Structure 1
Amino acid sequence: MDHLFLNVLNVVLPVLICAGIGYCLALIRAPFDNKVIGGIVSRVGYPTLIISHLSTTKIAVGTFLDVMTAAALAIAGFGVLGFVALKLMRLPARAFLTPLMHGNVGNIGLPITLLALGDAGMAYTMGFVVVVLISIFTIGMWIPAGEFSPRKLATSPIIYAVALSLVLMATGYSLPQPVAKSFDILGGLSIPLMLLTLGHTLATLRIISLGRAVLLTALHLVMAMVIASALVWSFGFTGAERGAVILCCLMPSSVATYLFIDQHVPEYGPDVAGFILVSTLTTILVLPVALSYWV
């Protein structure tokens, strides 16, 4: 049992160490532009990472699409359950629903599934990441902003990266070698940059209400377990896709959602920041247990 737990920590600790370096960069006030790095990752890193992994990993297109469908249902489940819970708690959905709906499947989910489940697990997680990213930058922006903007969806390079990847997966074709190598290099930037950004951002967040942050974290974790169990059972997932779906549902609240709350409902920014920080720290305890007993 101790040996199993140690192996799980060996999966989780590299992620924490990389994020910790980003945290230290913030503490020493080293130059670090989150906006520039976020733009590079979302416009270049994510699309090339998606194409380079999905076009070369041998997974069934049908199962990959099932994972994407499961991701959409998971977001919807978090949305419905979160909305009801927030109403009962008398908290504004405009401020708290977006972070409750969207997990940090990019910064934490991708490296965790790569280390724990290999390339196949990471490829299935890509399906989850794609759906969550699209949702964050559409629904996740619309809820706190109170406006609808389909242009963001149509201009997202991630949409076109997924479309190209699905064509390559379905036809068996591959990219020209120079292009494929370039995408490998550019996609390889994503995970280290995401982890550094995660740590740097967490260092700048400030908790105002610890009790509310803990309550929201507990709520998010309970919803995650219910939704993950329902999805795995209803889709009949096994193996790497089962592990990927469970881990993605258990991911803490996405750091990216804080930016929208801080911009549109800044009076609740510290509360949301506290929720994101506490849920991220709780992951240190949740992931080893999940990897040991559930995945």
Structure 2
Amino acid sequence: MDHLFLNVLNVVLPVLVCAGIGYCLAVFKAPFDNKVIGGIVSNVGYPTLIISHLSATNLAVGAFLDMMAAAALAVAGFGLLGFVALKLLRLPVRAFLTPLMHGNVGNIGLPITFLALGDAGMAYTMAFVVVVLVSIFTVGMWIPAGEFSPKKIATSPIVYAVIASLILMATGTALPQPLAKSFDILGGLSIPLMLLTLGHTLATLKAQSVARAILLTVLHLGMAIVIASALIWVFGFTGTERGALILCCLMPSSVATYLFIDQHVPEYGSDVAGFILVSTLATILVLPVALTYWI
């Protein structure tokens, strides 16, 4: 248990350190443009991250698609339960539904599943990452913006990155080495940039946001347990698939979702940033328990 706790801590602490640097940038009033950074991440960082990871994944396409289907149902489940809960709590759906729906399966989920389940676990988690990223950059944008835009799907680099990745996986084709290395470098931009953005926003966090952040974190964990249990029963997942699904559902709120809240409902930006921070901190306690008693 102690060893497992340290492994989780080793993954979560770098996330908090990067966010802390962003916080310091805000404190010292260093130049920082959230919109420019958001554009770089959504148009360059995440698409190249998807292609670079999936093109090197050794996993049957059928198993990968099964996990993608489970991930899509998980996101839908979080959306439905989150919508009902927010209405009951009288909290604005536009501000809080997107972060409730989407977990941080990228920069926390991938290393955690690798530590706990090995390469196979990380490959299944990539299926979850693909679905969550596509959802974030479509539905996740529409909810805060208050508008549905099919055009954004057709023009989203994320969608084309997923299609290209599935073709590479199905045909067993590897990217040329220079291109693969270029995508590795560009894909590596996304996570640290979003963590810096999160930390920069936390500098505006108000005291009253903390109680709301704790409430949303508890709500998110409760939904995760219900959804993971239901999907395991529906798909009959066992072994590595089961473990990867549970871990992905338990991930804290995604840092990437903050980008759209800040753009469209900035008055709730500090509340959402607080929720992301508290849910990330809760991961340090939740994951060792889940890995010990549920997986």
TM-score of Structure 1 vs Structure 2, range by shorter chain: 0.7 to 0.9
1:1-295 alignment runs, 5 A limit: 1-295=1-295
CA drift at 1:239: 4.1
Residue identity matched to 1:227? I
Q: Which moved more, 1:167-176 or 1:120-129?
A: 120-129
Separation of aligned partners in 2, 1:56 and 1:209: 41
CA drift at 1:140: 2.2
CA distance 1:105–1:2, shift in 2 (3 Å):
closer
CA drift at 1:20: 3.4
Q: Is contact 1:5–1:292 with CA below 8 Å preserved after alignment?
A: no
Residue identity matched to 1:47? P
Separation of aligned partners in 1, 2:200 and 2:117: 27
1:64-88: CA deviation from partner (whole Å, max 9, x where unpaired): 1112111111111111111222232
Q: Which moved more, 1:221-230 or 1:29-38?
A: 29-38
1:46-95: CA deviation from partner (whole Å, max 9, x where unpaired): 22222222112211111111121111111111111112222322333333
CA distance 1:216–1:192, shift in 2 (3 Å):
closer
Unaligned runs of 5+ in 1: none
CA drift at 1:230: 1.7
Residue identity matched to 1:184? D
Separation of aligned partners in 1, 2:268 and 2:30: 28
Q: Which moved more, 1:72-81 or 1:144-153?
A: 144-153
Q: Is contact 1:71–1:128 with CA below 8 Å preserved after alignment?
A: yes
Q: Which moved more, 1:255-264 or 1:49-58?
A: 255-264
CA distance 1:62–1:86, shift in 2 (3 Å):
same
Q: Is contact 1:48–1:184 with CA below 8 Å preserved after alignment?
A: yes
Q: Is contact 1:9–1:288 with CA below 8 Å preserved after alignment?
A: no
Residue identity matched to 1:121? G
Separation of aligned partners in 1, 2:115 and 2:148: 38
Q: Which moved more, 1:170-179 or 1:187-196?
A: 187-196
1:270-292: CA deviation from partner (whole Å, max 9, x where unpaired): 44343333323322322333334
Separation of aligned partners in 2, 1:75 and 1:83: 12
CA distance 1:106–1:34, shift in 2 (3 Å):
farther
Separation of aligned partners in 2, 1:141 and 1:115: 32
Q: Is contact 2:198–2:258 with CA below 8 Å preserved after alignment?
A: no
Pairs aligned (count):
295
Residue identity matched to 1:189? L
1:117-141: CA deviation from partner (whole Å, max 9, x where unpaired): 4444333222222222222222222
Separation of aligned partners in 1, 2:8 and 2:280: 17
Residue identity matched to 1:81? L
Identical positions, percent: 85
CA distance 1:276–1:194, shift in 2 (3 Å):
closer
